[in-house]
């Protein structure tokens, strides 16, 4: 499978100048995972020797939907435009040994709602009453996939590696949970995860098969919410303190918290994790994502939820999206302006993972989080 070489969301021009002495494959991601769009890719002055090089377009399910060489488009002199209606596409470039490849690829995006061309170098300014804050005075809530508005995960898909640099894989030698980095030394997770005191944190990973002891960080302090109730999962959150602070990078970065309430009913949110991708399915090795919507507590009344809890998911027939076993402690977050804000922590749900997931409402615990960190 291809190694990910870069991301070019909302780029007007990509110049690829490659020379290969070994067989290789590179991928470039185009479009928005969060918002459905019509995507137009125009190949301008493309030169391909198809016995050496091929260029393919893959959909989010990684199925080839366009094969440049099969359609012999390299013989045409006029610019070639390929149009697809989807969330995003993967431009895959395969190089045979000793191939030389030069191409200019122009990327255009058609707005799905307006149905007209928009320039890909400009973006409308967004305003929000949200007040994201960063416990560590660093640049929080910034995805490593620049300018992108980029799914226990049911009905989701594999994320672009390191899109969400605040995602943490937690393991105690027997059990694993997800977590969220909120500053350079503190991780927020679910209280019900904490059975053993011997937890380790792994940051900056996409494929957990690649986890190395060299990059593991021991947890020095575990603080469960004092009022956690294991019967009804009330106050289901805990703070983990890393033994050593982390250095921020494109693959390790905290998410923002917000003083303003942003978990409005009907709002779109993102949940990620390494949990099951079906009720009876396997646990994935690579981080998964689902785009869900906040539900009213009355929609999830069978849970008897309190204001300290959120319900979210997608329950359309044939289109279930939810967290599932193994996603506990992972984040639920939204985009506010130019930053991503943590609004929930995966807590529990029905065993069928049917689109009704329950999350700890982070907003209701901001004072406890700040006071706990300050005193420890």
* CATH number of 28's domain: 2.60.120.290
The stretches of 82-217 forming alpha helices (DSSP H) are none
Domain boundaries, position 31? 4-111
Report the pLDDT value the prediction gives residue 353, as an integer from 0 to 100: 59
Report the pLDDT value the prediction gives residue 254, as an integer from 0 to 100: 94
Report the pLDDT value the prediction gives residue 151, as an integer from 0 to 100: 31
Report the pLDDT value the prediction gives residue 363, as an integer from 0 to 100: 92
- Mention every residue, 6+ apart, whose C-beta is less than 8 A from residue 45: 79, 103, 104
**Is residue 99 annotated as part of the catalytic site, yes or no?**
no
Report the pLDDT value the prediction gives residue 128, as an integer from 0 to 100: 35
SS3 breakdown of the chain: % helix, strand, coil, rounded to 5?
A: 5, 45, 50
Are 193 and 321 within one domain? yes
Alpha-carbon torsion 42, 46, 51, 54, what sign? negative
Check: CB of residue 233 under 8 Å from CB of residue 358. Answer: yes
Instruction: For residue 278, give the CATH number of its domain.
Output: 2.40.10.10
Question: Is 116 a member of any domain?
Answer: no
By CB atoms closer than 10 A (0-12, 13-18, 19+), residue 283 is middle
Tell me the per-residue pLDDT of 282-339, one tens digit each, with 9 for 90 and over: 777 788 888 888 888 888 887 888 999 998 886 666 666 555 555 689 999 998 888 8
Whether pTM > 0.85 for this model: the answer is: no
Question: Is 126 a member of any domain?
Answer: no
The catalytic position among 149, 323, 328, 347 is 328
Q: Which residue has the tokens 């990078």?
A: 249
Report the pLDDT value the prediction gives residue 91, as an integer from 0 to 100: 78
Question: Is 90 a member of any domain?
Answer: yes
Are 254 and 369 within one domain? yes
Are 99 and 172 within one domain? no
How many CB atoms lie under 10 A from the CB of residue 327?
31
The catalytic position among 32, 192, 206, 347 is 192
**Is residue 206 annotated as part of the catalytic site, yes or no?**
no
Are 93 and 25 within one domain? yes
Report the pLDDT value the prediction gives residue 234, as an integer from 0 to 100: 93
Question: Is 199 a member of any domain?
Answer: yes
Q: How many structural domains is the chain composed of?
A: 2
In the chain, what is the greatest distance between 2 CA atoms, to the nearest angstrom?
Answer: 69
Are 316 and 232 within one domain? yes
Report the pLDDT value the prediction gives residue 303, as an integer from 0 to 100: 84
Are 198 and 89 within one domain? no
DSSP secondary structure letters along 56-105: EEE-TT--EEEETTTTTGGG--S-EEEEEEESEEEEEEEE-TT-EEEEEE
Q: Per-residue confidence of the chain (376 residues) as pLDDT tens digits?
A: 565 555 554 444 555 666 666 667 777 777 665 566 666 676 655 666 777 778 888 877 778 888 877 765 555 555 566 667 666 777 787 777 766 665 656 665 554 444 333 222 222 222 333 455 555 545 788 886 643 333 334 445 678 888 899 999 998 888 889 999 999 999 999 999 998 888 999 999 888 788 776 678 999 999 999 999 998 899 999 999 999 999 888 889 999 998 878 778 888 899 998 876 655 567 777 888 888 888 888 888 878 889 999 988 866 666 665 555 556 899 999 988 888 999 999 998 776 656 688 899 999 999 999 999 999 9
E strand or H helix at 41: strand 37-47
Are 213 and 282 within one domain? yes
Are 209 and 350 within one domain? yes
The catalytic position among 236, 258, 330, 347 is 236
Are 298 and 356 within one domain? yes
Whole-angstrom distance, CA of residue 25 vs CA of residue 93 = 6
**Is residue 328 annotated as part of the catalytic site, yes or no?**
yes
Question: Is 123 a member of any domain?
Answer: no
Are 227 and 355 within one domain? yes
Report the pLDDT value the prediction gives residue 9, as an integer from 0 to 100: 47
């Amino acid at each position: 499978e291809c190694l990910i070489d870069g991301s070019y969301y909302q780029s007007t021009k990509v110049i690829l100048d490659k020379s290969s002495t070994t067989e290789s494959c590179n991928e470039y991601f185009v479009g928005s995972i969060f918002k459905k769009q019509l995507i137009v890719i125009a190949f301008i002055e493309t030169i391909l020797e198809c016995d050496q090089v091929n260029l393919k377009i893959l959909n989010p399910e990684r199925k080839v939907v366009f094969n440049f060489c099969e359609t012999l488009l390299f013989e045409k002199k006029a610019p070639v435009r390929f149009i697809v209606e989807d969330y995003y596409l993967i431009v895959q470039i395969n190089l045979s040994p000793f191939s030389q490849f030069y191409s200019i690829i122009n990327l255009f995006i058609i707005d799905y709602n307006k149905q007209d061309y928009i320039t890909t170098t400009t973006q409308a300014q967004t305003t929000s009453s949200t007040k994201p804050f960063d416990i560590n005075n660093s640049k929080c809530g910034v995805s490593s996939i620049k300018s992108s508005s980029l799914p226990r995960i049911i009905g989701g898909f594999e994320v672009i590696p390191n899109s969400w640099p605040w995602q943490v894989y937690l393991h105690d030698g027997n059990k694993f949970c997800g977590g969220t980095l909120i500053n350079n030394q503190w991780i927020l997770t679910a209280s019900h995860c904490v059975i053993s005191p011997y937890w380790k944190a792994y940051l900056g990973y996409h494929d957990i098969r690649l986890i190395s002891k060299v990059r593991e960080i021991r947890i020095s302090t575990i603080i469960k919410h004092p009022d956690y109730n294991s019967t009804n999962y009330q106050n289901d959150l805990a703070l983990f303190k890393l033994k050593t602070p982390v250095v921020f990078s494109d693959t390790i970065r905290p998410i923002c918290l917000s003083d303003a309430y942003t978990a409005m009913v009907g709002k779109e949110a993102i949940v990620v994790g390494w949990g099951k991708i079906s009720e009876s399915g396997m646990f994935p090795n690579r981080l998964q994502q689902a785009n869900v919507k906040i539900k009213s507590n009355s929609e999830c009344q069978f849970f008897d939820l309190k204001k300290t809890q959120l319900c979210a998911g997608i329950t359309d027939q044939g289109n279930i999206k939810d967290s599932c076993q193994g996603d506990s402690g992972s984040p639920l977050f939204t985009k506010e302006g130019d930053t991503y804000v943590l609004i929930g922590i995966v807590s529990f749900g029905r065993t069928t993972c049917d689109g009704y997931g329950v999350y700890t409402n982070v907003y209701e615990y901001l004072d406890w989080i700040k006071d706990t960190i300050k005193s420890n």
